[in-house]
Amino acid sequence: MAKKGNISSRNLRISDQIQRDLAAMIQRELRDPRLGLVTLQSVTMTPDYAHAKVYFTVLGADAAVAEGILNEKAGYLHSLLFKQLHIHTVPTLHFHHDTSVEQAIEMSKLISEANSTRAKED
């Protein structure tokens, strides 16, 4: 059982490191104005470290366009990660737009509207 815990914590450490390194690389290496401001929310990896889902949000750009650009540049970013990380397997990167922030903002607006309607009725 301890071994499984070690694998999980190692996976988490590597995911966090990949997130930090990728964030810097995207800002420094990808100069496409169609990207807007990309913020990496999280990185989840398969247990065998073969694949990583990179969840991001974007400001000032279309999310679908940004996702396409990031996935198009995933191989290039992978090669940069391979040079920087000292691990046996650097995962293949798969970028996904994270809609949870937009959903949270929308939910907050709905709650505020409901509360203001209730206050007016009282």
Task: Say what the pLDDT of residue 106 is.
Answer: 84
Mean pLDDT of the chain: 89
CA distance 89 to 67: 24
Percent of the chain with pLDDT over 90: 63
pLDDT digits (tens, 9 = 90+) for 94-114: 999 998 877 888 888 889 888
For 75-97, letters b (16+ CB in 10 Å) and e give eebeebbeeeeeeeebbebebbb
Predicted TM-score (pTM) of this structure? 0.79
**In the prediction, which pLDDT does 76 show?**
96
Q: What pLDDT sits at residue 1?
A: 38
Question: What is the pairing mode between strands 37-45 and 51-59?
Answer: antiparallel
Band of pLDDT at residue 7, cut at 50, 70 and 90: low
* Assigned architecture for domain 2-121: 2-Layer Sandwich (3.30)
The predicted pLDDT at position 6 comes to: 53
Domain limits, the chain: 2-121
